[in-house]
Amino acid sequence: AQSVAQPEDQVNVAEGNPLTVKCTYSVSGNPYLFWYVQYPNRGLQFLLKYITGDNLVKGSYGFEAEFNKSQTSFHLKKPSALVSDSALYFCAVSPRGGSYIPTFGRGTSLIVHP
Amino acid sequence: GAVVSQHPSWVICKSGTSVKIECRSLDFQATTMFWYRQFPKQSLMLMATSNEGSKATYEQGVEKDKFLINHASLTLSTLTVTSAHPEDSSFYICSASLRETGNTIYFGEGSWLTVV
């Protein structure tokens, strides 16, 4: 069975500082990995994904994520946080074959302080 | 990017009535559509997975007779909450998957259901 862990319920960072939102996963074989963002009372928006190739994936709004196979991690990063980045972030993993139903982490609330 | 439209965004219904939520993929044909439920400050709970023209596959603990899912075409899926009760009040989110893009899932904006 596949699983996703987001170990932090909340991450606090000052505006202008770099941010990291952690994600580790467990899945058979090579996974597809995703990050989504959810603003209050809204659906989820796709940020970025890893399929294959370069381990550093760049996505929307200046976010990037690094795929680390040995550590089974896919941490979300941004060099300089904005107050408007404050939202709920979800990591997801999907197997490459079979039912490919994705599994989501429980979400991490990012709060960027002015 | 791919767009998924969900309607209505907000709905209030009386206890005992039924309410239908629509999910459409606007610019692509969705391989699969998913329905999720989200409680405040919690993660997504997958309710069911549906493929066009076939019956939905429900997750354990989800009542298929209460949450009716119809996937009439490659661009439309509907969730009908039958005989709604206050405990069904929640945020319901649909999503559509496009296998050609590495199983990327695109989400609708969600629907707030309040049963009074």
Q: So what's the pLDDT on residue B27? A: 85
Taking CB atoms and an 8 Å limit, are B44 and A46 in contact across chains? no
Q: Which of chain A's residues have a Cβ under 8 Å away from the Cβ of B106?
A: 46
pLDDT of residue A78: 98
- Side chain identity at B77, as an amino acid letter? S
Reference B22, options B84, B106, B92, B83; nearest CA is B92
Residues B103, A100: C-beta atoms closer than 8 Å = yes
Q: Does B42 touch chain A (CB under 8 A)?
A: yes
* Interface with B, mutate which of A46, A60, A88, A110 (most B CBs under 10 A): A46
Burial class (CB in 10 A: 0-12, 13-18, 19+), B36: buried
The mean pLDDT value for B97-109 works out to 78
Per DSSP bridges, beta strands A87-95 and A31-38 are antiparallel
Sorted by sequence, the CB contacts under 8 Å of residue B68 that are 6+ apart come out as: B79, B80, B82
Of B68, B75, B29, B30, nearest to B47 by C-alpha is B68
Using one digit for the tens of pLDDT, what is the confidence trace for B8-45? 999 999 999 999 999 998 888 887 899 999 987 778 89
Q: What is the pLDDT along chain A (114 residues), one digit of tens a residue?
A: 788 999 999 999 999 999 999 999 998 888 889 999 999 888 889 899 998 888 999 999 999 999 999 999 999 999 999 999 999 999 999 877 666 678 899 999 999 999
- pLDDT score at B102: 63
Residue-wise pLDDT tens digits, B56-77 = 999 999 999 999 998 888 889 9
Q: Is the pLDDT of residue B113 over 80?
A: yes
**CA-based nearest distance A81→chain B, Å:** 22
Residue A99: what pLDDT? 62
Q: Do residue B46 and residue A101 have CB atoms under 8 angstroms apart? A: yes
Q: Which residue of B has its CA nearest to A39?
A: B109
> Which residue of A lies nearest to B101 if distances are taken between CA atoms?
A51
> Is residue B1's pLDDT more than 70?
no
Structure confidence at residue A102 (pLDDT): 83
CA–CA distance, A1 with A12 (Å, rounded to integer): 31
Lowest model confidence (mean pLDDT) among B2-11, B27-36, B106-115: B27-36
pLDDT score recorded for residue B10: 93
> How far is Cα A79 from Cα A51, in angstroms, rounded to an integer?
23
CA distance A38 to A76: 14
